[in-house]
Amino acid sequence: MPLVRIEIQSGHPREYKNTLLQAVHDALVTSLQIPEDDRHQRLYELEAEDFPNPGKTEKFTVIELTLFPGRSREMKRNAVEGITRLLGERLGIEPSDVFITINEPPLDNWGLRGVLASDLGFEYKK
């Protein structure tokens, strides 16, 4: 159940944003082997003056992935590479305009369905 937060400069058309969201999701389905319907994404658009990034273009994209802990380094590498590749292929975003962070809070720090995730016994591919 990755939580995905994406920040971009405002002004892009709806089609661009839909393609962005789909590219990130497709990369996570492939790299992390999440179910197709496991989609928890939030897109934040910031005015250029509120999103200063010297040396970057108007396509600069910041992506924050929050994951259950335990996935392999290879899976995380594949996620980063896959997202970057699909954003380039589908939207012409250069790798230098993609910034990705991965957070892995312990299951004791997730609350789902009114209980701690650590009490739910989740199984997922690592």
pLDDT at residue 126 tops 80? no
**Whole-model pTM?**
0.91
Structure token pair of residue 18: 């839909």
d(CA 121, CA 126): 14
Domain segments of the chain: what residues?
A: 3-119
| Tens digits of residue pLDDT in 62-73 | 999 999 998 999
Mean pLDDT over the full length of the chain: 93
Confidence of residue 52 (pLDDT cuts 50, 70, 90): confident
CATH assignment of 3-119, given 3.10.50.30, 2.130.10.10, 3.30.429.10, 3.40.50.800?
3.30.429.10
The dihedral through the CA atoms of 28, 17, 64, 94 has a sign that is positive
